[in-house]
Amino acid sequence: MPPISTQRVLLRTPHSRALPRCQAVGRRAYATDKEERESFKGQLYQSTNERVEREREQQARYAQIREAQKRSRGTPAWLVPFVLSMGIASGYYLSQRGSIGNASTASTAPLSEAIPPQHDTAPANLQAAWSDFRAIVGEENISTQVDDLKAHSGSEWSSYPSLPSDQPFAIIKPGTTEEVSGVMKVCHKRRIPVTAYSGGTALEGHFAATRGGICIDFSRMDQILTLHKEDLDVVVQPAVGWETLNEELAEHGLFFPPDPGPGAMIGGMVGTGCSGTNAYRYGTMKDWVLALTVVMADGTIVKTKQRPRKSSAGYDLTRTFIGSEGTLGLVTEAVLKVTPLPQNIRVAVCTFGSIREAANCVFKVVGAGVPIAAIEILDDVQMRCINQAGGTSRQWKEVPTLFFKFSGTPTSVKEHISMVQGLAKGTGSKTFEFARNKEEGDELWSARKEALWSVMAQKKDSTDHVWTTDVAVPISRLADIIEETKDDISKSGLMGSIVGHVGDGNFHAIILYNDREHDVADGLVHRMVKRAIEMEGTATGEHGVGLVKRDYLPHEIGDGGVDLMRKMKQAFDPLCLLNCDKIVRVQRPKPGEVQEW
């Protein structure tokens, strides 16, 4: 990777262009008729001219009616006013039809009124599009290899089992924002659905190509473009990994706090609105994105904001795209906030006799307002898996464990460790140890990062699968939901662990099951999500909605909220080309497809 430029420069994106002339879609019109907007004076002249022309047409109709009346003396008296009225009404209707069309005027879009998308994935259309794509990105940046297509439609750690039909026709790898725009213009013209792909670490079926079409792989767009060190922000492309970014930033005494699973990249992190172990202290992805460059469904390039830390200029377009999972637009650049590296970081590990005691300790620490960097919980099953996997150099006590990360000055860190140690002892802690240096701290913290992989290591054959899911609840209900979920897993007969970023009420369940046990695992997850929502929590704290969690949204935010999301989807992507079927349904489900609440 080339060295980061510290030159202070302004981001440049191509000038916004007016939407191209819209081809009629059904009966709807979605764009203006001209390539560029006319001036106000031009619009005024055009409006006046159209009004004069309508008046002339009406006068001509009146003259025809009067002439007909003279020729037919025996015409009934009521006929002339009737014809006159119909002519006026017809003229008004025709004059208005072009401006309002038949588009719905409702503020929301109920699923019962949704019209299924009409894509064109016929072989002839896709083959013709392939030639267009080749002209844009080059033949070497297009793949139709079977293994490549399969790898871009799902993964072994995803909770959504991809179907054979959930594969794209081709993988397109653009290298610039302009190339992404060109690809989307082709797809818009030919009605080809599109799925975006960066790190491929998503868990809820986010990049399954449910409608076929193409996959846009951002792997060539992996550059750190500009570091504004004095402004504490950095401009990156979507395929930059957060780990790579932090390695580069560390050379300048800076870091980017969101830290989800290994391998995650900025594009996907924006799409899911992720967080990670540092969320308790530093917040989630939405707190660290300043501005985005986005390619819309028709190829229009949009810049959401400039670089200042605050702005009250219009709608918050940046946050609209964060968490949208590639359903509203494709992120091609991101301006991210960064922050100075803490002066001192220490890690402590504390064990408990039960999962409730550990969760109660979290509640006490959060309630006391101790400014720690992170709090992570791992239950006894998870600690056993870590020992068996051998991913760390030490053996752990196989009991519920809390991992604490402290950051700040040496004096403040020492004080905070003392406070947490006292609170842990008051809630039943058995042991409390802390790292003496950075290396020892990294070793302790590595156990948390090994969670998913250590459970996957328990798989016996190809029929075994891992289902990892997350929910979040108000912190006061954390102990209740963790204990109830752990009991539910135990009763199911499946092996499953509890792990999570519990400082903000968010935890994960990692469940191991085989093909015959899929329905059992599905039931566990369903009850876990239902439990969280009934505790005024959320179906997903950081994994995103994708395909797996979309039918829980009506229970969480109500039908009105989901219908408003669907309306936004229709407004941003009228042809439903972008990551169709994710977050909100765009057509009614089949009988039995949605689980009973």
Nearest CA to 482 among 463, 459, 506, 504?
506
Weakest-pLDDT range from 35-49, 300-314, 359-373, 496-510 = 35-49
pLDDT given at position 157: 81
392 & 357 share domain: yes
pLDDT given at position 582: 96
525 & 401 share domain: yes
Percent of the chain with pLDDT over 90: 70
pLDDT given at position 100: 40
Could you read off the pLDDT of 468-519 as tens digits, one per residue?
999 999 999 999 999 999 999 999 999 999 998 888 999 999 999 999 999 9
Domain harbouring 141, CATH code? 3.30.43.10
Q: Which residues fall within 8 angstroms of residue 214, CB to CB, at 6 or more apart?
A: 129, 133, 168, 169, 170, 171, 172, 183, 187, 192, 193, 194, 195
Specify if 582 maps to a domain.
no
Q: Which residues fall within 8 angstroms of residue 124, CB to CB, at 6 or more apart?
A: none
Burial category of 233 from C-beta neighbours within 10 Å (exposed 0-12, middle 13-18, buried 19 and up): buried
- Give the C-alpha separation, 546 to 543, whole Å: 9
Give the DSSP per-residue string, 73-108.
TTS-TTHHHHHHHHHHHHHHHHHHHHHHTT----SS
- Give the C-alpha separation, 180 to 172, whole Å: 9
Nearest-10 Cα torsion for 259, 265, 270, 276: -20
The SS3 of residue 112 is: helix
Are 327 and 273 a contacting pair, CB within 8 Å?
no
Specify if 559 maps to a domain.
no
- Give the C-alpha separation, 567 to 574, whole Å: 10
pLDDT given at position 293: 98
Specify if 289 maps to a domain.
yes
523 & 385 share domain: yes
pLDDT given at position 159: 87
Are 362 and 402 a contacting pair, CB within 8 Å?
yes
Domain harbouring 438, CATH code? 3.40.462.10
Domain harbouring 232, CATH code? 3.30.465.10
Domain span at residue 273 reads: 224-340
Structure tokens given for 338 = 């960064």
pLDDT given at position 65: 58
Could you read off the pLDDT of 250-294 as tens digits, one per residue?
999 999 999 998 899 999 999 999 998 899 999 999 999 999 999
198 & 267 share domain: no
Sheet of 301-303, strands arranged across:
224-228, 233-236, 330-337, 289-295, 301-303
207 & 66 share domain: no
Domain endpoint, select from 518, 534, 550 = 534
329 & 403 share domain: no
Q: Which residues fall within 8 angstroms of residue 333, CB to CB, at 6 or more apart?
A: 11, 13, 177, 225, 235, 236, 237, 238, 292, 293
Nearest CA to 543 among 39, 166, 201?
201
Q: How many domains does the chain have?
A: 4
283 & 175 share domain: no
127 & 206 share domain: yes
pLDDT given at position 314: 94
Burial category of 596 from C-beta neighbours within 10 Å (exposed 0-12, middle 13-18, buried 19 and up): exposed
Structure tokens given for 37 = 């907007």
Q: Tokens 């662990």 map to which residue?
A: 497
Most confident region among 16-25, 340-349, 350-359 by mean pLDDT: 350-359
pLDDT given at position 264: 95
The SS3 of residue 129 is: helix
Could you read off the pLDDT of 556-580 as tens digits, one per residue?
999 999 999 999 999 999 999 999 9
Specify if 443 maps to a domain.
yes
Are 374 and 445 a contacting pair, CB within 8 Å?
no
Taking CA atoms, 31 is separated from 3, 23, 336, 571, in Å, by 43, 9, 32, 11
Specify if 53 maps to a domain.
yes
53 & 167 share domain: no
Domain endpoint, select from 217, 242, 274 = 217
Other CB atoms within a 10 A radius of the CB of residue 397 amount to 14
Mean pLDDT of all residues in the chain? 86
Specify if 397 maps to a domain.
yes
257 & 311 share domain: yes
Domain endpoint, select from 290, 325, 340 = 340
Query: Above 90 in pLDDT, residue 134?
Result: yes
Query: Above 80 in pLDDT, residue 311?
Result: yes
392 & 261 share domain: no
Task: State the number of CA atoms in the 13 A half-sphere of 433 facing the CB.
Answer: 13
pLDDT given at position 62: 55
Specify if 597 maps to a domain.
no
Are 510 and 521 a contacting pair, CB within 8 Å?
no
Q: Which residues fall within 8 angstroms of residue 571, CB to CB, at 6 or more apart?
A: none
144 & 236 share domain: no
Specify if 112 maps to a domain.
no
- Give the C-alpha separation, 361 to 428, whole Å: 8
